[in-house]
């Protein structure tokens, strides 16, 4: 992972042209993989290691660097997550990010932010390929959605211009199920 982070950090003005050689993580080399570069405010779509699209994004309105810790901290989670479609959202074209993940649940249990029961429910949902519980103190309802990517304005989601989101959605599987890697 260190190779991946140092290589991507050099691409602060956009998205790297390829994922080739960045990491052996097999999730990085799939048909449709989304990478979010928080510091650069960019989202890249990669297909078979090649850049298929790169767009500007907006994050939280009072942006706090770092990984999401608890509900309301105005942070976007960092790490690997799965996605799925969320057509009933109030936000344009919403794609759900399956936060919290297993690592978040482990951290939350260790720091007593969540209970053992909540931890186990998160892990079971992730193992079943489902969206984990969204109502714990870890927070939830993290989305990739429209509404504008020019400025930071969300509560921790990743926002794109509507046209950019339409282009992204057209390149993803119909279920919007893919892997997303959110980097600092």
HSE value, Cβ hemisphere, 13 Å, CA-based, for 112: 0
3-state secondary structure of 174: coil
pLDDT class for 4, splitting at 50, 70, 90? very low
Q: Which class for 33: exposed (0-12), middle (13-18), buried (19 or more C-beta within 10 A)?
A: buried
Q: What is the pLDDT of residue 2?
A: 30
Q: How far apart are CA 9 and CA 11, in angstroms?
A: 5
Nearest residue to 159 via CA among 44, 57, 91, 64: 57
Q: How far apart are CA 181 and CA 79, in angstroms?
A: 5
Asked, for residue 122, whether it belongs to a domain, the answer is no
Residue 19 has pLDDT above 90, yes or no: no
Instruction: Supply the range of the domain harboring residue 60.
Output: 2-99+139-183
pLDDT at site 11: 46
Task: Provide the token pair at 96.
Answer: 């759900």
Q: Quick check: is 166 in a domain?
A: yes
Q: How far, in Å, are 31, 117, 121, 165 from residue 171 at the CA level?
A: 10, 37, 31, 10
Q: How many CA atoms lie within 13 Å of 21's alpha carbon, on the beta-carbon side? A: 5
Minimum mean pLDDT range among 25-29, 48-52, 75-79, 161-165: 25-29
Q: In angstroms, rounded to a whole number, what is the distance separating the alpha carbons of residues 136 and 154?
A: 20
DSSP 154: B
Residue 146 belongs to some domain of the structure: yes
What mean pLDDT comes out for the span 133-162? Answer: 97
pTM above threshold 0.85: yes
Whether 37 maps to a domain, the answer reads: yes
Is pLDDT of 1 > 60? no
Domain holding 52: CATH number? 2.40.440.10
Q: Domain total for the chain?
A: 1
Q: What is the pLDDT of residues 54-112, one digit of tens each?
A: 999 999 998 889 999 999 999 999 999 999 999 899 999 999 999 999 999 999 999 99
């Amino acid at each position: 992972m260190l190779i991946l982070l140092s290589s991507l950090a050099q691409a602060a003005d956009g998205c790297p042209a390829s994922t080739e050689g960045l990491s052996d993580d097999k999730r990085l080399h799939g048909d449709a993989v989304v990478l979010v570069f928080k510091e650069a405010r960019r989202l890249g779509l990669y297909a078979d290691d090649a850049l298929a699209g790169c767009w500007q994004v907006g994050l939280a309105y009072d942006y706090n660097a770092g990984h999401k810790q608890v509900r309301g901290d105005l942070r976007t989670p960092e790490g690997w997550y799965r996605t799925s479609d969320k057509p009933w959202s109030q936000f344009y074209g919403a794609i759900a990010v399956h936060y919290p993940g297993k690592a978040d649940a482990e951290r939350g249990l260790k720091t007593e932010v969540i209970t053992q029961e909540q931890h186990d429910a998160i892990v079971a949902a992730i193992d079943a390929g489902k969206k984990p519980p969204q109502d714990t103190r870890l927070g939830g309802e993290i989305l990739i959605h429209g509404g504008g990517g020019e400025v930071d304005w969300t509560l921790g989601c990743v926002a794109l211009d509507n046209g950019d989101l339409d282009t992204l959605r057209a390149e993803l599987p119909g279920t919007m199920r893919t892997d997303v890697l959110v980097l600092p």
